[in-house]
Amino acid sequence: MYSAQHTYVAIMAGGVGSRFWPASREARPKQFLDILGVGQSLLQLTFGRFRQLCPETHIFIVTNARYQDLVLEQLPMLQPHQVLCEPSRNNTAPCVAYAALKIHALDPEANLVVAPSDHIILQEHQFLDNLRTALAFTSSNDALLTLGIRPVRPDTGYGYIQYAATSSTAAGGQEEAVHKVLRFTEKPPLEKAKAFLDSGDYLWNAGIFIWKAAHLLSAFQRYARDIYDILSPGMQVFNTELEQEFIEQNYPATPNISIDYAILEKADNVYTVPATFDWSDLGTWASLHEEAPKTTQHNALNADPALLYQVHNTLVRAPRGKMVVLRGLDNFIVVDEGDVLLIWPKDQEQEIKQMLQEIRSMGQEHLL
C-alpha cells in the first residue's frame, strides 16, 4: 500500500546539459535554468512536483559536488544532508546506489522514486496517480519498476521497453496498471523503432524508477556487486558528518555505467506502469520548441521585444529587454546569451555538441 511516511525521492541533477548550450554551461547546467520561461528552474519545478507525493524532508538531490551551492540556493528549504554530492560523474548506477544506501540507512522500509531533474511533466495529477500505483506495487512486491511512455513516433534516441499485455496483481488483490517487462532495447535503429511503434507493446523508458531501497540493494548485490562492495561500507557513516569524506575517497572508484545496463537489463523482476500523462525529456532545443507555446507561424518566443518577418518554425531565446529583429528564417534555433549568440538549423542540432570541442580547442573554455 502507498504510504507517504515511507516514500522518498532522489532527484538526479548532476548532468551538464551540453545539448542546451549556450544557455546551459558547465558552471550552471540546464536543470538550474528557467528554460521554459515560467519563473522557475527545471529543478524547482521537479521538486515542486514531488513535494505533493511525500514530505520535503524525504526529497534528496543527487548532484555533482560543484553544484551543491546552486541546489541550496534554488531549494533553500533543504537541509545540507539532503544534497548528495558526487565527486565524479560515473553515470546513473553509482548515483542510484549511493542514494538507496543512504536512504535505506534512514528508513529500512523506504520506498524510493528516482527521477531526473529536467523532464517536462504535464497532467501532474495523473503523474502522481501513476506514481502512487507504482509505489503501492513495490511496497508489497520485490519489484523494480519503471514508468513507461507510450511512443508517439519512431524515435531512435530513447530506450524501449517491451511489456506483457496482461497486468499484474498489486497488493490487496486489486488489478493495477502494472505490467511485466519482457526486455529492454537501447536506442534502436530507425527501422526497428518503427517496428516497435507498430507492434503496440513497446514503451519509451522515461528513466523514472520506483522500488523499495532494500529490494534495489539486493539487486545490486546480485548484478552489480562491484558497486555495492565499494559503497555499502559507507552505511556506517551515511547521514553523519563523515559521509562526504567517505564518498570522496570511494565514489570515484565505482564503474561508469547506467542503472539500465547494470541492473534493469539483467534482473527478472522488472515491471512497468504505462504512463497516462504527457512527457518530454527536454533533451534538446528542438524538443523545447516542440513543447513550448507557439505563434501562428509556429515560432516559440522567449524574447521581448521582438520583430519577426518571414520567420517560421523557429525557437528564439534572448535576454528580456534586448530587441530581437529577424527575417527569413525557417526551422532555426536562435539563442542569445549575451556572451554567445547561436544561430543554427534546428534539424542539425545534434552537431552542436560536436562543435563545442572546437570552441574548447580555440582556448575558449570559459564559454562552455
pLDDT of residue 143: 96
pLDDT band for 169, please (50, 70, 90 cuts).
low
Q: Mention every residue, 6+ apart, whose C-beta is less than 8 A from residue 121.
A: 49, 127, 277, 278, 279
pLDDT > 90: percent of the chain: 80
Give the lowest-confidence range in 39-53, 182-196, 216-230, 320-334: 182-196
Say if CB 93 and CB 262 are below 8 A apart: yes
Q: What is the pLDDT of residue 207?
A: 92
Residue 1 has pLDDT above 80, yes or no: no
pLDDT band at 176 (very low <50, low <70, confident <90, very high): low
Per-residue pLDDT tens digits for 108-140: 999 999 999 999 898 899 999 999 999 999 999
Give CA–CA dist 241/246, Å, rounded: 10
pTM for the full model?
0.92
pLDDT for res 168? 66
Looking at 39-43, 84-88, 346-350, which range is the least confident one?
346-350
pLDDT for the residue 6:
95
- Which sequence spans correspond to the domains of the chain? 4-280, 285-367
CATH among 3.40.630.10, 3.90.1310.10, 3.40.630.30, 3.90.550.10 for 4-280: 3.90.550.10
Q: 325 — phi, psi (to 5°)?
A: -125, 120
Question: 316: closest CA among 296, 297, 336?
Answer: 336
Distance, in Å, from the CA atom of 113 to the CA atom of 312, rounded to the nearest integer, reads 40
> Are β-strands 175-185 and 120-121 bridged in parallel, bridged antiparallel, or unpaired?
unpaired
d(C-alpha 252, C-alpha 256), whole Å? 9
Interacting residues of 126 by C-beta distance below 8 A, sequence separation 6+: 275, 276, 277
Is the pLDDT score of 262 beyond 60? yes
- Quick one: average pLDDT of 262-282? 91
User: Which is higher by pLDDT, 195 or 165?
Assistant: 195
Find all residues with CB under 8 Å of 264, minimum gap 6, and list them.
144, 146, 181, 184, 270
pLDDT of residue 177: 85
pLDDT digits (tens, 9 = 90+) for 286-296: 989 998 999 99
Strand partners, 308: 326
pLDDT tens for residues 71-85? Answer: 999 999 999 999 999
Compute the mean pLDDT over every residue in the chain, rounded to the nearest whole number.
93
How confident is the model over 204-261, as pLDDT tens digits? 998 999 999 999 999 999 999 999 999 999 999 999 999 999 999 999 999 999 999 9
Instruction: Name beta bridge partners: 299.
Output: none
Q: Is the pLDDT score of 175 beyond 50?
A: no
Q: Report the alpha-carbon distance of residue 129 to residue 71 in Å, rounded.
A: 27
pLDDT at 171: 44
Buried b (16+ CB within 10 A) or exposed e, 147-183: bbbebeebeeebbbbbbeeebeebeeeeebbbbbbee
Q: Does the structure show a pLDDT above 90 at 153?
A: no
